Amino acid sequence: MTGDAATLGELFRRGRPADPHAVLLEAPGDSPLTYGEADAVSARFAHALRHLGVRPGDRVAVHLEKSPSFLLVYLACLRAGAALLPVNPAATDAEVGHVVADARPALLLHDPARRPPTGPVARTLDAAGDGAFAELAREHDGSFEDVPRAADDLAAVLYTSGTTGTPKGAMLTHRNLASNAATLTKAWGFRADDVLLHALPVFHTHGLFVATHCALTSGSRMVFLPRFDVDAVLAALPRCTVFMGVPTYYTRLLASPALDAATTGRVRLCTCGSAPLLEGTHAAFRERTGHAILERYGMTETSMITSNPLDGPRRPGTVGLPLPGVEVRVTDDGGDAAPTGTVGGVEVRGPNVFDGYWGQPRRPPALFTVDGFLRTGDLGCVEDDGYLRLVGRSKDLIISGGLNVYPIEVEAVLDALPGVQESAVVGVPDADLGERVVAVVAAEPGAGVDDDELRQAARRRLAGYKVPKAVHRVESLPRNAMGKVQKAQLRATYGTPRAPER
Ligand code: MCA
Ligand code: AMP
């Protein structure tokens, strides 16, 4: 019974198994971590945070590889009343520097292999749970009186880029996250005897909140893999009941002949989201395993918005129905409700929806309607039976393997490179990643620009998944009468595989 807990702490306390020996997570090569141990270690971590000067309301930046310690730091932040600020472990120094300068965390926990940016107090913590922070924590007690929090207090800040290309921190409160956690746990029927196969990264809503919150709220167990690896997933699946993935996980699993109905014999639920799931993938997975993947839809600023039902038809090509307590509508360009079946902008309102970005005005009018709906930047239509079908995006965003790449951020880096006159970055269809990042570059007259050098230079400034997989050269970019680069034309030109040479 989850009720409507106002804070994550309260929600997790209610969900905690009575037996402290119940396992919270198993990570390869480690002995299982019980709920009781998680309680004790997160208490020590919370003392260490306080010792290092972290006060309620402060941000704690975490630039760590995925490991059980990461999750324990998150729990410690909640207990100490601080907000977690996860940073992609693949982020370059420049990307980490921007986040830290913007969010001004009271503390940065980083992998010993990484050099911390100047500014915040910094301590090391490695994937094995060692480092200066862990040493300090060991000096402290295994019990901690949790700092009381209110629904409107900040629980996490997640950086996400937008139309400006500069990452901004989405401020997520306890209300936002706890309401969504309780709703999902119920909607997806999580029980204490579930075993969730967790192969997602933990610096994003999907792996950090959707997955771990369902486990913590229901008092169930996670098999916690450091990353998605087909063989490791196939080896662990037979003892799991729930799997969560992005579409690339499913296409990669399907590419293995080892995936069959026996591998998923204990599984009761496979969910998918973060990017569009092709109907063909849905059908192929069902044919091979007997499971109809449950597709759901959400975003960093809102957590989950819609879901196909646990009981009831899971409609391929749709993202299901609005979750309980969440309102969804589709509007036309004038902001009026679009008739059923007509494509328009998807808007959402509910306790899950954030209020704004760190350091910026709350509820910016560009993002929110006057009656409080968030404009998602996704295009879709509501079908006769109320299911939402997404058909595209009005925001200039590429989703590659479930990771968001904002073209403007990549274009800014390419444009600043010597010899580049202008660039345009587009996403083209990719069988593995869903979309692949491709750059189209016009060089300055007379400049000798080498495509590999461009990619390498971009790689020094951007996390690897943002770096164009290919660079195409043009004399000049195609523009319409308004001077706007015609990206649809570029996608059409560079998205189709070249005809084989004769
Ligand atoms: C890694 N690389 C990528 C990607 N991931 N390139 C394009 N797209 C990607 N997604 C690059 C790396 O930078 C590296 O290049 C090279 O590929 C190999 O890296 P590796 O880590 O070995 O790749 P991988 O293990 O094959 O990873 C692909 C992946 C992973 C398994 C698809 O990206 C992944 O787990 N994606 C899931 C992301 C996710 O959880 N999204 C949810 C966020 P180099 O050597 O040059 O560095 S969205 C969300 O939270 C919303 C709210 C929602 O609705 O869920
Ligand atoms: P992010 O900013 O990383 O939270 O990404 C949010 C975006 O991912 C949404 O606005 C959608 O464009 C996309 N997204 C999430 N789930 C789905 C889905 N099931 N189908 C299509 N797009 C999705």
401 touches 433 (CB < 8 A): yes
205 lines ligand 1 (CB under 6 A): yes
SS3 469: coil
Euclidean distance between CA atoms 74 and 93, whole angstroms: 22
pLDDT of residue 163: 65
Tokens for 62? 């975490």
d(CA 87, CA 95): 9
Q: What is the sign, positive or negative, of the torsion defined by CA atoms of 338, 341, 347, 350?
A: positive
Closest CA to 408 of 88, 87, 161: 161
- Please give the biggest Cα pair distance in the chain: 73
412-457 pLDDT, tens digit per residue, is 999 999 999 999 999 999 999 999 999 999 999 888 788 898 999 9
Give the per-residue pLDDT at 321.
98
Residue 446 burial (CB count, 10 A): 6
**Burial class, 469, CB count within 10 angstroms (exposed 0-12 / middle 13-18 / buried 19+):** middle
Contacts of 48 (CB under 8 A, 6+ apart): 76, 133, 136, 137, 140
| Model confidence pLDDT, tens digit, residues 198-208 | 999 999 999 99
Residue 497 has a pLDDT of 59
Would you say residue 500 has pLDDT above 60?
no
Ligand 1 atom nearest to 299, measured from its CA: 52
Q: Whose CA is nearest to atom 28 of ligand 1?
A: 401
Q: Which residues contact 271 (CB under 8 A, 6 or more apart)?
A: 188, 242, 243, 244, 245, 293, 294, 295, 296, 307
Instruction: Answer yes or no: are the C-beta atoms of 319 and 307 closer than 8 Å.
Output: yes
Atom 21, ligand 2: residue with shortest CA distance: 276
285 Cβ below 6 A of ligand 1: no
Distances in Å between the alpha carbon of 218 and those of 177, 181, 206, 307?
15, 10, 17, 19
Protein residues whose CB sits closer than 6 Å to any atom of ligand 2: 160, 205, 273-276, 295, 297-300, 319, 376-378, 390, 393, 399, 404
Tell which one of 158, 177, 246 to mutate to probe ligand 1, the residue whose CB is within 8 A of the most ligand atoms: 246
Do the beta carbons of residue 108 and residue 115 sit within 8 Å? no
Question: CA torsion angle for 117, 122, 127, 130 (degrees, to 10)?
Answer: 140
Q: Which two tokens stand for residue 215?
A: 């486990």
**Least confident range of 259-263, 358-362, 390-394, 493-497:** 493-497
What is the β-pairing status of strands 269-272 and 294-299?
parallel
Tokens of 248: 């690339």
Q: Is the pLDDT of residue 498 over 50?
A: no
CB atoms within 10 A of CB 273: 26
pTM score: 0.95
Ligand 2 atom closest to the CA of 299, numbered from 1: 4
Answer whether 227 contacts ligand 1 (Cβ < 6 A).
yes
Query: Which residue in this structure is represented by tokens 């704690």?
Result: 60
Which atom of ligand 1 is the closest one to the Cα of 275?
A: 54
3-class secondary structure, 233: helix
Distance of CA 464 to the CA centre of its chain: 16
pLDDT tens digits for 361-390? 999 999 999 999 999 999 999 999 999 999
Confidence of residue 1 (pLDDT cuts 50, 70, 90): very low
Cα-Cα end-to-end distance for the chain? 66
Which residues lie closer than 8 Å to 459 by C-beta, 6 or more apart? 467
pLDDT average, residue stretch 114-128: 93
